[in-house]
């Protein structure tokens, strides 16, 4: 049973607009959340993370929001650029109890010029 | 700094053949992981090694074995390949059990079993 869920397999957005990617999790032990970006024929690369002690983390055009009560996080990309077209994976870890990262199924983002 | 290196990048096997996927990291990380990526399934953990000398099963370990040869290297072995093992395999490493640490991934091995 997947503990991290990305229910939108794809997202199409116009260049310059906001991209919002959503992620839900079921394991209440998760306390560290990450977003990865993956281009075709490459390995995933780390994008941004957030600890459960925060509800927002910002890095340039990327902001991650965490709602612990709803077990939900989102990634905002503003403004979206053509180079942002990729697959985005949400991942979570129970950092104090195990070493594993659990991943969602991914959301494919296409930024239209 | 090479990061995480996987070999080979591509492989075609016949059903029943065996092979070993190699992974090495040069970041002095304690933890290493093997994932497989399948359409609509995301990245699923096959096996992981929290530290040198230890290995543990992940979500989908059946049909695989692993060896943590030393701190740098973590190999994945398919003893008798099956078409269901056609996938893209990623090796990753992470500092270890510490908060706020990300995993670094290799470029992947695309395996086809016919």
Asked whether the predicted pLDDT for residue B47 surpasses 90, the reply is: yes
More confident residue, B41 or A97: B41
Q: Find the radius of gyration of the CA atoms of chain A.
A: 13
> What's the pLDDT score for residue B1?
61
Q: Which of A79, A65, A78 is nearest to A33 (CA)?
A: A65
> What's the pLDDT score for residue B95?
83
Query: pLDDT of A32-73, one tens digit each?
Result: 999 999 999 899 999 999 999 999 999 999 999 999 999 999
Mean pLDDT of chain A: 94
Percent of chain A topping pLDDT 90: 88
Peptide bond before residue B66 is cis, with ω within 30 degrees of 0 = no
Q: Which of B66, B80, B77 is nearest to B17 (CA)?
A: B80
Q: Which residues contact B44 (CB under 8 A, 6 or more apart)?
A: A103, B35, B36, B37, B38, B58, B59, B60
Asked whether the predicted pLDDT for residue A99 surpasses 80, the reply is: no
**Residues of chain B neighbouring A102 (CB-CB closer than 8 A):** 45
The mean pLDDT value for A76-89 works out to 97
Q: Which two tokens stand for residue B112?
A: 């086809």
Asked whether the predicted pLDDT for residue B11 surpasses 90, the reply is: yes
- A27 close to A35: Cβ distance less than 8 angstroms: no
Q: Cβ contact (<8 Å) for A96 and B99?
A: yes
DSSP A82: G
Q: Cβ contact (<8 Å) for A41 and B40?
A: no
3-class state of residue A73 by DSSP: strand
> What's the pLDDT score for residue A75?
98
Of B31, B41, B105, the CB nearest to A99: B31
Asked whether the predicted pLDDT for residue A22 surpasses 90, the reply is: yes
Q: Cβ contact (<8 Å) for A44 and B45?
A: no
The mean pLDDT value for B70-84 works out to 97
Interchain CB contact of A34 with B (< 8 Å)? yes
Interchain CB contact of B23 with A (< 8 Å)? no
Tell me the backbone φ, ψ of residue A45, rounded to 5 degrees. Answer: -120, 140
| DSSP3 helix / strand / coil % (chain A, rounded to 5) | 5, 55, 45
């Amino acid at each position: 049973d997947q503990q991290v869920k990305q229910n939108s397999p794809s997202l199409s957005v116009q260049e310059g607009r906001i991209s919002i990617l959503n992620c839900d999790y079921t394991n209440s032990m998760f306390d560290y959340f990450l977003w990865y970006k993956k281009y075709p024929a490459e390995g995933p690369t780390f994008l941004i993370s957030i600890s459960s002690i925060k509800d927002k983390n910002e890095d340039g055009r990327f902001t991650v929001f965490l709602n612990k009560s709803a077990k939900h996080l989102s990634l905002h990309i503003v403004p979206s650029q053509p180079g942002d077209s990729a697959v985005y994976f949400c991942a979570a870890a129970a950092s104090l109890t195990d070493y594993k990262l659990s991943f969602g199924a991914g959301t494919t983002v296409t930024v239209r010029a | 700094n090479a990061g995480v290196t996987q070999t080979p990048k591509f492989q075609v096997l016949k059903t029943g053949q065996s092979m070993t996927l190699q992974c090495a990291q040069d970041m002095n990380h304690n933890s290493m992981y093997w994932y497989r990526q399948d359409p609509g399934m995301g990245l699923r953990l096959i096996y992981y090694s929290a530290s040198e000398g230890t290995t543990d099963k992940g979500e989908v370990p059946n049909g695989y074995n692993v060896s943590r040869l030393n701190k740098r290297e973590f190999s994945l072995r398919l003893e008798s390949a099956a078409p269901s093992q056609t996938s893209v395999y990623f090796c990753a490493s992470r500092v270890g059990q510490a908060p706020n640490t990300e995993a670094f991934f290799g470029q992947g091995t695309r395996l086809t079993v016919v």
